[in-house]
Amino acid sequence: MSDLTLAVIRQKTLKTRINCSGVGLHTGRRVTLAIGPAAMDTGIQFKRIDPAGLGAIIPARWDHVVDTKLCTVIGNGDGVVVSTVEHLMAACSGLGIDNAMIEIDGPELPIMDGSADAFVFLIECAGIIEQSAARKRIRILQPISVGDDQSSASLAPAPFASLDFSLDFANPAIGRQEKSVLLEEDSFKRELSRARTFGFADEVEMLQKAGLAQGGSLDNAIVIGTDRILNREGLRYGDEFVRHKMLDAMGDLYLAGAAIEGRFRGSRSGHALNNKLLRALFANPDAWAYVDDTTAAPEWTDTEILQATA
C-alpha cells in the first residue's frame, strides 16, 4: 500500500445506532430521534417514520431547504419536512460524519439544550468508524458573496477551512461580537459546540402568542431581557452569541453535501443568507470543485496565506 493511500482521509459514519428524545423548539412537540450508520457516498439523510411522514427520506442538502424563517427546514417537495436541522448538522460537520441515516417521528428535531453539545455526545457514544471511500471536500476556487451593507455572507479560497463572524445588537447584553475559528481537529467541540441559541424575552412572548417557539424555555435557550441575561446560570462563553451564530453557519453550510475547503465570513448572517450563499455557489460551476486527498492542491505562497487569514 502506498504512502499516498495511507494518507487519504476516509469517509466516516456511526458505528451503531443511538436514540434520544426531546421537544421541538417551535412546535413544542415531543419527538424521538435515532442517528445511525449509512453506506458510503449516501450523505446525511433524514427519514420521517411517523404516520404523517409516510417514511419519506429527505437528503440534508441545500437544494432541499424549503424555509429559513426561524430555523433551517428541509423538505421532499411533497410537503413532508424536517425543521431545525442546523444544530445536528453542525455536530455532523464538526465530527466529520459524512454518512448517516437520521430517523425522526415528527416534523422538528428536539432542541435539547439549544446547542449542538447533546448531538456531539450522542454521536461519540455511538462511535465513529471509517469507511473505505475517500472523503470529498468542496474546494472554493472563486470568491462568492451575497447580502448587502446590513448583512452579508461570503466564501473565499483558502488553504484551510475557517469561519469568521461578526454581529452587532443594540441590546447592551450582546453588543458587538466578532470571532474567527480555524476548523481543525477538535476546534468545533472546544470553541462552538456548547454555544446555545438565543432570543429576546419580548420576541419570545410574541412568538408564543403566534403559536411559535412553543418549546422554548430557559432550559434550551439564552433569553435576553432589556439589558441583561435572564438565565440564572449566565453564559457558557463571554461571547456565546457570536459562537452560536457560527455554529448555525456550520450546520447550514454542511448542507452543501460535503465539507467546504475555504473561508466563510458572515456579518449578521442567518439561515436565509447562508442558504442563499450555497445557492449562489452552486450556480457558478467555476467557483468550486470536488476534491479529496488524492487531488493536487494549489500551492499557496506565504503572502497569499497571510492575505487569506487577514
List, by residue number, the catalytic residues. Answer: 271
CA-to-CA distance for 256 and 43, rounded, in angstroms? 10
| CB-based contact 137:260 (threshold 8 Å) | yes
CA atoms within 13 A on the CB side of 8: 20
Degrees (nearest 5) of the Cα angle 193, 196, 198? 150
| CB-based contact 133:12 (threshold 8 Å) | no
Q: Please, where are the H alpha helices in 167-238?
A: 187-191, 201-209
CA-to-CA distance for 289 and 137, rounded, in angstroms? 8
Q: CB neighbours (10 Å) of residue 244?
A: 27
> SS3 for 29?
coil
Main-chain dihedrals φ then ψ at residue 125, nearest 5 degrees = -65, -40
E strands, the chain, in order: 10-14, 18-23, 30-36, 44-48, 57-59, 65-67, 73-75, 81-83, 100-104, 128-134, 137-140, 144-147, 152-156, 162-168, 176-182, 198-200, 222-224, 259-261, 263-267, 288-291
Which grid cell sits at 130?
471509517
